[in-house]
Structure 1
Amino acid sequence: MAQNRTPDAPRLGKPLKRALFGRSVHAVAPDLIGATLLVNGVGGIIVELEAYHHTDPAAHSFNGPTPRNMVMFGPPGFSYVYRSYGIHWCVNFVCEKEGSASAVLIRALQPTHGIAAMRRRRGLHDERSLCSGPGKLCEALGITIKQSALPLDVPPFALHARTGKIEVITGVRIGITKAVDFPWRYGLKGSKFLSKPFPD
């Protein structure tokens, strides 16, 4: 997929395996900042995400399993895709251990691969707006319910470790009404591709 890279795209790091996700959601979250997420070769650098633990009132799994969230109760390293407000798809990565029902919500990417496809799907040109929100990035990467409950280390998904040093910042999560004071939003310091700036 190298032909889809932007000219200044960083080289891809080593592929990440499902075993990475079998840890605390708060250990996985900072490790994913700076990693590259690709779906059928289209994607970019993860610059923002949020952690959701099964004991967290804001987590979909807080009240137990349902047909929608069942994948969260399965093994780690799988995708959990849901529709937000009946409009936008959002993608999460299941973490911890089977039955834990914890996950990270991918909130924003820096586009690096397949930008032409992203622009076509989103109907806009500005790179900073292509993936600056969970619904936007799913539309840009072509993620729908069809990509739910799939392993994250085999196609169509690919995850690659970051290749350089970064600084991860944290803050409260966005757009929720419960556990609003939890500092469980993680981001890449200085990124212009965030869905919303972090407070200074």
Structure 2
Amino acid sequence: MTTWEPKSDLHHYLRVAREALLWKLDGLSEYDIRRPRTPTGTNLLGLIKHVATVESGYFGNVFGRPFAEPLPWLDDDAEPDADLWATADESREEIIGLYHRVWAHADATIDALALDAAGEVPWWPEERRRVTLHRILIHVISETNRHAGHADIVRELLDGAAGLRADHDNLAPGDQAWWEERRLRLEQVAQAAGQSEPRP
């Protein structure tokens, strides 16, 4: 019989989400990992940089265990949302390396503290800023999975690659023709629903 261990389970889900997000960069050029594919500029390497920044704060300062490296895009005079894109001088290796070092720091915090360990999120409203490791784990898992979903869409827009993980794509079986037919059918359904919508 498997014993449910809440902290181990939560930590596992965080690790899976990290790997799923990072995998979306595999096989792409420096250009493609930076390409803004939405009107707000969402791009793959920027998502990695952002999630690394998020983890460094939530598993660092929140529990009095600050991440040792400076993150200049968080400085008061930094451009807004500077953590959501990588400059031409910030290489893939640098951003991924940062993410791995943040993982190690976050994992050390998770290993060292109990789920009910208290922390404080200074950037949250006063009435909500006192938290536990349990709450922060859930928050960061949610944040990482949200951005992994963004990465799914961005990657599919770049080169058509889709799927949950390298070892399990979680997609219906079908070749390119099947997917094209499916998309066409969904478009037809959408048009039919739009035509039947009452006009103002």
Tell whether the structures are fold-level matches, with TM greater than 0.5: no
More strand by share: 1
TM-score bucket of the superposed structures, by smaller chain: under 0.3
Q: TM-score, normalised by structure 1?
A: 0.28
Radius of gyration: which is bigger?
Answer: 2
More helix by share: 2
